[in-house]
Amino acid sequence: MQKRHRVIFISAISVTLLVVLFSWIKQEKPVAVIIASVEVGDVQRTVTNTRAGTLKACRRAGLSPAIGGQIAHLPVKEGDVVKKGQVLLEMWNDDLNAQLTLSKSEILASQARVKEACVIADVARREANRLTALRKKGLSSDDASERAVGDAKARQAACQAAKSAAEVSKARLAVAQAALDRTLLKAPFDGTVAEVTGELGEFVTPSPVGVPTPAAVDIIDNSCLFVLAPIDEVDAPEIKPAMPARISFDAYKKKFFSGKVRRIAPYVLDREKQARTVDIEVDFIQDDDKIHMLPGYSADVEIILDSHSDVLRIPTEALLEGQKVFVLEQDKKTIEERQVSTGLSNWKYTEILEGLKAKEQIVTSIDRDGVSDGARVKVEATADKK
């Protein structure tokens, strides 16, 4: 009898264990999730460029001689810092230099002729005045005084003609100087020589009308830099000059520079197979940020349209369609779907107006299988520490 009871007891325990084991096996495994805390911070509404922007110099000039000829003097090389008016390239111009020297000599000769003619005219004028005075006293004949007056007028005309000839000589000198200047390539502003395509002794020709050719010397003013970036036409109406912006470069990873909008293009670009965009220009706020930067860097800009400080915010990736989130329950084992009201939003953060409290924890890995209202979960990582 006792043996029978023992068998029944053992069988009951075995069945109970099997039931518990089966229930444990059947129990749904918790879903691994990544969580983030509801925090207080700043949220900004922004727009960004649709394609990579470019760091540009405010002044850049590709320079070529106005006339064709042979390069006789090339005093600069790539990387040289030059001043406004400095000669960058000189064509062979011995003939024009000779013409300039001749023109200067002609001016000296014409000035001497002016001096001679005007001195003679002054003497003739004084002689005419003397004879006219004597005639009034009856000491000179009318014929002599009239000849003296006529001669004085002729001498004065010769003086004036000599002066006019001297002006013509000065004009010839200006023409010769202009012709010589056309053989000189001068820096239009202070800057740095970016590229030199000509070589000493080479012949260069000016670009035909409508056919651009490479510049002989490319000069850049690196003291003034800005970012040119395309913005989608849909976002352009909200952007205004002086709006704050953040600038980033591929060359300076994880570093942002403060800027502000300087100009918005007054037209929309319509390029084939691309969205219509509006070019904007963004200045740096701190001049020191531009040191050692090179024109041509690829850049991105983020225009700040609106900003709220010290507000509740969550990672935007945690927000479900219909403004809902999954909140981790106090038992840390289940999640609850909750409706929220949102404010400003960007790609990183969304402002929460209602529905959540600071320090509550929400699920950011909302696209994982099994993440649903009431699901059992286990915390795999925290979003700001993963």
Q: What is the CATH number of the domain that holds 228?
A: 2.40.30.170
Question: In the numeric block, which tokens belong to residue 356?
Answer: 């959540």
SS3 at position 199? coil
pLDDT of residue 25: 45
Judge whether residue 4 has pLDDT over 70: no
* Dist. CA 386–CA 384, nearest whole Å: 6
86 within a domain of the structure (yes/no):
no
Query: Looking at the structure, do residues 161 and 123 belong to the same domain, yes or no?
Result: yes
169 within a domain of the structure (yes/no):
yes
Query: Looking at the structure, do residues 299 and 373 belong to the same domain, yes or no?
Result: no
Q: Which of 287, 307, 327 is the last residue of a domain?
A: 307
206 within a domain of the structure (yes/no):
no
Q: What is the CATH number of the domain that holds 355?
A: 2.40.420.20
Residues in contact with 187: Cβ distance below 8 Å, sequence separation at least 6, in sequence order: 82, 83, 84, 85, 86, 88, 219
Q: Which of 255, 286, 307 is the last residue of a domain?
A: 307
Query: Looking at the structure, do residues 258 and 331 belong to the same domain, yes or no?
Result: no
Domain with 98 in it: 93-182
198 within a domain of the structure (yes/no):
no
Query: Looking at the structure, do residues 266 and 314 belong to the same domain, yes or no?
Result: no
Cα dihedral sign, 264-265-271-275: positive
Q: Is the pTM of this model over 0.85?
A: no
Whether 133 contacts 67, CB under 8 Å: no
What percentage of the chain exceeds 90 in pLDDT? 52
The 10s digit of each residue's pLDDT in 312-342 is 999 999 999 999 999 998 877 898 999 999 9
Q: Which of 182, 207, 236 is the last residue of a domain?
A: 182
pLDDT of residue 287: 82
Question: In the numeric block, which tokens belong to residue 18?
Answer: 């099997």
Query: Looking at the structure, do residues 97 and 162 belong to the same domain, yes or no?
Result: yes
Question: In the numeric block, which tokens belong to residue 257?
Answer: 């520079």
Cα dihedral sign, 85-89-95-98: positive
How many angstroms separate the Cα of 361 from the Cα of each of 91, 225, 312, 326, 386?
Answer: 75, 44, 13, 9, 15
Query: Looking at the structure, do residues 178 and 98 belong to the same domain, yes or no?
Result: yes
Judge whether residue 20 has pLDDT over 60: no
23 within a domain of the structure (yes/no):
no
CB-count burial class (<10 Å; 0-12, 13-18, 19+) for 343 = middle
Mean pLDDT of the chain: 87
Phi, psi angle pair for 327, to nearest 5°? -105, 135
84 within a domain of the structure (yes/no):
no
The 10s digit of each residue's pLDDT in 151-165 is 889 989 999 999 999
Query: Looking at the structure, do residues 231 and 254 belong to the same domain, yes or no?
Result: yes
Question: In the numeric block, which tokens belong to residue 310?
Answer: 């010290």
Query: Looking at the structure, do residues 141 and 109 belong to the same domain, yes or no?
Result: yes
Query: Looking at the structure, do residues 39 and 54 belong to the same domain, yes or no?
Result: no
User: Where do we find the tokens 């009239």?
Assistant: 146
The 10s digit of each residue's pLDDT in 239-274 is 999 999 999 999 888 889 999 999 999 999 887 566
Q: What angle do the packed helices 94-136 and 142-181 form, to 10 degrees?
A: 160
Give the DSSP H or E segment for 353: strand 349-354
* Dist. CA 161–CA 167, nearest whole Å: 10
Count of domains observed in the chain: 3
261 within a domain of the structure (yes/no):
yes
Query: Looking at the structure, do residues 97 and 174 belong to the same domain, yes or no?
Result: yes
SS3 at position 279? strand
Query: Looking at the structure, do residues 371 and 333 belong to the same domain, yes or no?
Result: yes
192 within a domain of the structure (yes/no):
no
Question: In the numeric block, which tokens belong to residue 203?
Answer: 């012949």
pLDDT of residue 146: 83
**Buried residues in 19-43 as b, exposed as e (16+ CB within 10 A):** eeeeeeeeeeeebebbbbebbeeeb
Query: Looking at the structure, do residues 299 and 330 belong to the same domain, yes or no?
Result: no
Mean pLDDT of 188-215: 82
